[in-house]
Amino acid sequence: MLSAADRRRPWLLLAPSLITLFVLMILPIAIMTMFSFYEFVTAGVEKQVFTTQNWHDFLTDPFYHMFLWKTVRVSAITAILCAFMGYPAAYCIAMTTYKHKWVLLLLLIVPFWISFTIRTFSWIHILGEQGVINVTLMKLGIISEPMPMLYTEGAVIMGMIHFLLPYMILNVYVAIEGIDRNLISAARTLGCTAWQAFYEVVLPLSLPGLMAGLLLCFVLAAGSYVTPQILGSTRDALFGNIIFDTIMSELNWPMGSTLSLVLLILLGAVAAIYSRYMGLSRVFKGLGG
Amino acid sequence: MSLDTSTSGFGWRAVQVFTVLVYIFMFAPILVVIVLSFNASQFGGFPMTGFSLHWYAKLMQNDSVLRAFQTSLWVAVVTSIVCSVMGILAAVALVRYEFPGKEWVNTILIAPALVPETVLGVGLLLLIRFAHQPRTLWLLVLGHIMLALPYVVLVVQARLIGVKRVYEEAAMSLGANRLQTFREITLPLIMPAIVASLLLVFTISFDNITASMFWRPSGVETMPTEILSMLKISISPEINALGTLMIVVTVGLPLLGGGLARYLAGSAR
Amino acid sequence: MKISTTKRLERLTERYLNGGMDRRTLLGLAAAAGATAGLSMRWMPQALAAVTEVRFDGWGGVVQEAIDKYAFQPYTAKTGIKVTQGTFGDENEIITKVKTANPGEYQVIHSSGVEYYKRYVDGGFNSEINEANIPNLKNVMQAMIDPFLKIAPKLSCAPYDYGTTGIAYNTTVISDAEAKEKGVALLTDPKYKGKIGGYADMETRLWYAALGTGQNPNDIKDLDAAWAKVRDNRDLVKKYWSSGAELMDLLAKGEIVVSDAWSGRVAALQQQGSPIGYLDPPGSFAWMEDMLILKGSPMTECEELVNFMLDPATAIAVAEGQNYPPSLDPTKVKLTEKIEKLPAFDPSGTMKSLTFADAVYWGDHNDEWTKQWDRISKGG
């Protein structure tokens, strides 16, 4: 039987973290809920009276719906493209017999160390009018006018893939690495072709990792606003940009709170559906190692 | 039967080529930044007009960049120390003890990594406003602690599971008290995890921009927000030079730390 | 310049208060990390010296470089007071910051015109300048002082320079004749789709939309038509720029070939040898800029700085550097040939040839129109 002190100990160890998260995360979300029912008077000023105006505005204004939909669409495209690019790479890293596999793995971690801002703006040099692609194509005489690629939705998606791909690869890699190799060998001896072995054994068993990667990419993409700011035009704004502008430029705190809650509820719902089937702790398996 | 069958043939070749392309995709843009930082031209794009260190020299005289660097460094160092201590304690609790509500606690500790940073940014700002407190650098530190905590807990947890309980039990049976056991046995064993988490938090804090844009005191720039405001003005070669320096620091530091961790792990064994 | 005894006492008190704060910070630092000690020591003197510093926020780029070189550096050399500088790309940005900051955090602002001045006054951020401390004000055109006095009875700023937002075009693509003939219509010319730029600012957008629909920008009768014009322009624009430096960058690199543009920045480009022409169409958007001192600033030091900046020798050097004519009355002060050739320059000292924004008209509609523009810019 545990003594009282023994039962208390884990809670003592957890206390600093839990208190911090309560004060800095849970309490603010409660306050956010409260603010979303306050009345906006003028920039920087709100009245503490109960009103459903902000929610009403959100529900009836097509401007917000358009951006919510756009954010979901862009994030979904990003996540799916990440999967298509990340899966083969992860498969290759997991299966390779290359002696210095650790180098490949290290290179997967390195992007996490390089500033996100720098990684994002580096695309300006690739996609811009004086970027690598345009300059090369023009030198080769394939095009006479630089193609407009920067400050488009495509550039934003490209930037987000660049930032999210390592998350996807790591998640899938951990899943494939965990598969018992004997299963694959068994499938092959039973007459499966290489492709069948992959399709029947590796793919299903790595699916949880793939799903975790998709969730992570989708959530991180949907919450971003700096990438559109750097690589997109004002028209390529995402929901995060709307929130940022509402709060930081218009100083409309009640509406900003409402919009933040909308984003939280949306992404929370996605994560909840996921965790029902997969369990949330999976998501970070790739990062825990 | 060997694995060779799944790592040969045309399909496998294609996968290999594709993987190489993915790696190029991940690193080529960064290499371009590094190359362009030595461009003599006064505009940040191609073509290269010559090799020059001019932009690095200019960077060294840029007061606001230096100030932003100091700010970021300070915030990141404070954050990484405080956050690592908190996270390690939490990870020890999660790995070493069984208690009711563990699953629940785990979810809460991971939550900040899944809640959109924009929402966390707005939330903390509202809290400050609600409490009528000014925005100071400490807000930035607190915020970064929250953002990095999940990663510390995850990383340290993963390492702790590998540390066998028997060592601690042996020490205690030999008469060491809890504190001694922790200091003499557990601490050296989890030292690599501590170093890893310090570095991880440092990078997370030093690199954070999304939430920092909400939290920074007015007039204060951190390194990433400074780069962003420089970008708004022009894509100057100075930004490329700055980017290159930051890559050298943020990639060099963990590599060094990784080596150190390996060394410590070796000596602890 | 001597500082009075009361001022000295005030400084001492502030120093003491700052000292108390620093001790706390220091304790925190010491506990946090020995590694940061070296850094924190470098910070401390800055905090202690808060009163020997003046905070200035301006438009960045070549303009601020000129101000720094010809005004701030000599000022610091003369008085020992450091000028810490920040930049902004559009004035709404700094107004928002001022609104959320504590009084005294922002001090001197290079503000862009009477309509903005009104917004500071409406927000209660204006100070009261002791004009006796700025003797150089007497050289400033009365025509530039009067509009500010209409907003608040006591000046909170000193008019400093003026310029126009006209139309800049790349002469290798658009001939002077074509520019002259098309004028404002260039900004909505489908021929240049994807090659047009524009300032990401409600007032500029709506102003040019009003001109484009043949209306008076200070009394827009058909607002819907004007907004429709804003949308037309938006659909053709490659990028809305958000700072003068960005404008110069886009024009110089040829990413855009036509844009509404700030006269001084275009002049700077021309001096660098870029093939950029500049045109002030009828009704071109003119503005007078001022050095605004915010409430809560150390008044004596700020007034001293502004007075120094208005000194004819300094003001002329700055004007030549930033390419905007100074607020000095050309009938009282002999200006240089270079200044007389600057775009928008008014030799009469009456400002009658330029069209300014009606501060009351634009101020009244600011919130509503900003929201509308914000949505249009995002594709709404």
Q: What is the Cα–Cα distance from B266 to B260, expressed in whole angstroms?
A: 10
A126 is a domain residue = yes
- Which of B114, B160, B215, B256 is most worth mutating to test chain A (most A CB atoms within 10 A of its CB)? B114
Chain A: touching chains (3 or more CB pairs < 8 Å): B, C
pLDDT for B9: 77
Highest-confidence range of A114-123, B245-254, C220-229, by mean pLDDT?
A: C220-229
Query: Quick check: helix, strand or coil at residue A249?
Result: helix
End-to-end CA distance of chain B: 37
Residues in chain B: 269
Looking at residue C239, its pLDDT comes to 85
Domain membership flag for residue A197 = yes
pLDDT of B176 over the 60 cut: yes
CATH superfamily of B62-268: MetI-like (1.10.3720.10)
Q: Which pLDDT value is given to residue C8?
A: 40
> Average model confidence (pLDDT) for chain A?
89
| The predicted structure's pLDDT at residue C110 | 95
Residue A44 and residue C377: Cβ atoms within 8 Å?
no
Q: At what angle do helices A62-95 and B9-36 cross, to 10 degrees?
A: 120
Q: Are B159 and B190 in contact (CB under 8 A)?
A: yes
B162: nearest CA partner in chain A: A289
Q: Which residues is C83 bridged to in the sheet?
A: C54
Say if residue C234 is exposed, middle or buried (CB neighbours under 10 Å; 0-12, 13-18, 19+).
Answer: buried
DSSP 8-state symbol, A235: G
Q: Positive or negative, the Cα torsion across A131, A133, A136, A141?
A: negative
Looking at the structure of chain A, the number of domains it has is 1
Q: What is the CATH number of the domain that holds A97?
A: 1.10.3720.10
pLDDT at A281 over 50: yes
Classify residue A179: in a domain, yes or no.
yes
User: Residue A257 — very low, low, confident or very high, per pLDDT cuts 50/70/90?
Assistant: very high
From A273-282, B226-235, C34-43, C355-364, the region with the lowest mean pLDDT: C34-43
Phi, psi of C294 (to 5 degrees): -85, 155
| Chain A positions in Cβ-Cβ contact with residue B247 (cut-off 8 Å) | 114-115, 118
Percentage of chain B beyond pLDDT 90 is 33
Chains adjacent to B (≥3 CB pairs closer than 8 angstroms): A, C
Query: Would residue A54 count as lying in a domain?
Result: no
Give the residue from chain C lying closest to A147, CA to CA: C194
For residue B13, how far is the Cα from the chain centroid?
A: 35
Residue A289 clears pLDDT 70, i.e. is over it: no
A41 touches chain C (CB under 8 A): no
Q: Which segments in chain C show pLDDT lower than 50?
A: 1-50
Predicted pLDDT of residue C51: 57
Tell me the backbone φ, ψ of residue A151, rounded to 5 degrees. Answer: 60, 40
**Residue of chain C whose Cα is closest to the Cα of A152:** C238
Q: What is the 3-class SS of A35-60, one letter each residue? A: HCCCEEEECCEEECCCCCHHHHHHHH
Are B243 and A222 inside 8 Å of each other by CB? no
Q: Taking the domains of chain C in order of start, what are their residue ranges?
A: 5-162+289-352, 163-286+358-377
Residue B203: pLDDT band with limits 50, 70, 90: confident
- Which token pair is C101? 């900051």
For A1-15, the pLDDT digits (tens) are 567 777 888 899 999
Using alpha carbons only, what angle is made at residue A179 by residues A276 and A199, rounded to the nearest 5 degrees?
A: 85
Residue C123's closest CA among C144, C87, C99, C107?
C99
Q: Which domain holds residue A168?
A: 62-288
Right CATH number for C5-162+289-352 from 3.40.50.300, 1.25.40.10, 3.50.50.60, 3.40.190.10? 3.40.190.10
Beta carbons of B33 and A122 less than 8 Å apart = yes
Q: Which chain C residues contact residue B232 at CB under 8 A? A: 89, 242-243, 246
pLDDT of residue C161: 95
Report the pLDDT averaged over residues B17-26. 94
Alpha-carbon separation of residue B103 from A15, A17, A265, B108, B147 (angstroms):
16, 15, 22, 9, 20
What does the pLDDT look like over B97-129, one tens digit per residue?
Answer: 888 888 889 889 988 988 899 999 999 989 988
Cβ count within 10 A of residue B26: 23
Q: What is the band of B2 on the pLDDT scale with cuts at 50, 70, 90?
A: very low
Chain B: give the shortest CA distance to residue A25, in Å.
7
Distances (CA, A) of A209 to A284, B35, B114, B121, C163: 10, 36, 16, 29, 60
Contacts of C125 in chain A (CB under 8 A): none
Q: State mean pLDDT over A175-196.
A: 86
What b/e sequence results for C249-266 when a residue is b if at least 16 CB atoms lie within 10 Å of its CB, and e otherwise?
bbbbbbbbbbbbbbbbbb
> Pairing between strand C276-279 and C157-170?
antiparallel
CB contact under 8 A, A247 and B125: yes
Q: How far apart are CA B76 and CA C253, in angstroms?
A: 37
Task: State which residue of chain B sits closest to A110, comparing Cα positions.
Answer: B251
Distance in angstroms (rounded) separating the CA atoms of residues C94 and C24: 30
CATH architecture of C163-286+358-377: 3-Layer(aba) Sandwich (3.40)
Q: Which residue has the tokens 């070749």?
A: B13
Put simply, the answer to whether C99 touches A249 (Cβ < 8 Å) is no
Find, in chain B, the residue whose alpha carbon is nearest to that of C35.
B77
* Chain B residues within 8 A of C249 when measuring between CB atoms: 43, 233-235
C-alpha atoms less than 13 angstroms from C-alpha of C56 in its C-beta half-sphere = 26
**What is the tens place of the pLDDT at every residue in A42-81?**
777 788 899 999 999 999 999 999 999 999 999 999 999 9
Helices (H) and strands (E) in chain C, counts: 16, 10
Is C238's CB within 8 Å of A151's CB?
A: yes
DSSP string, C91-145: HHHHHHHHHHSPTTSS-EEEE--HHHHHHHHHTT-B----GGG-GGGGGB-HHHH
CA distance B193 to B161: 11
Answer whether residue A237 shows pLDDT above 80: yes
C106/B contact by beta carbon, under 8 A: yes
In angstroms, the Cα distances linking B45 to A114, A123, C144, C269, C376 are 21, 11, 42, 18, 31
Residues of C in contact with B73 (CB under 8 A): 36, 39
Tell me how far apart the 2 most distant CA atoms of chain C are, in Å. Answer: 70
The model's pLDDT over A71-97, given as tens digits with 9 standing for 90+, comes to 999 999 999 999 999 999 999 999 888
The 10s digit of each residue's pLDDT in B59-102 is 888 888 888 999 999 999 999 999 999 999 999 899 888 888 88
| Among B81, B219, B235, beta carbon nearest to C33 | B81
Tell me how close the Cα of B232 comes to any Cα of chain C, in angstroms: 7
The reply to whether residue B82 touches residue C248, judged by beta carbons under 8 angstroms, is: no
- Asked if the C-beta of A66 comes within 8 angstroms of chain C's C-beta atoms, the answer is yes
Burial C293-304 (b: 16+ CB within 10 A, else e): bbbebbbbbbbb
How far is B122 from chain C, CA to nearest CA, in Å?
Answer: 14
Which residue from C minimizes the CA distance to B78?
A: C32
For the whole prediction, is pTM greater than 0.90?
no
Query: Residue A188 — pLDDT band, cuts 50, 70, 90?
Result: confident
d(CA C337, CA C340): 5
Residue C326 DSSP class: B
Closest chain B residue to A255 measured between Cα atoms?
B122
Which residues touch B181 (CB under 8 Å, ≥6 apart)?
B168, B171, B172
Query: What pLDDT was estimated at residue A287?
Result: 58
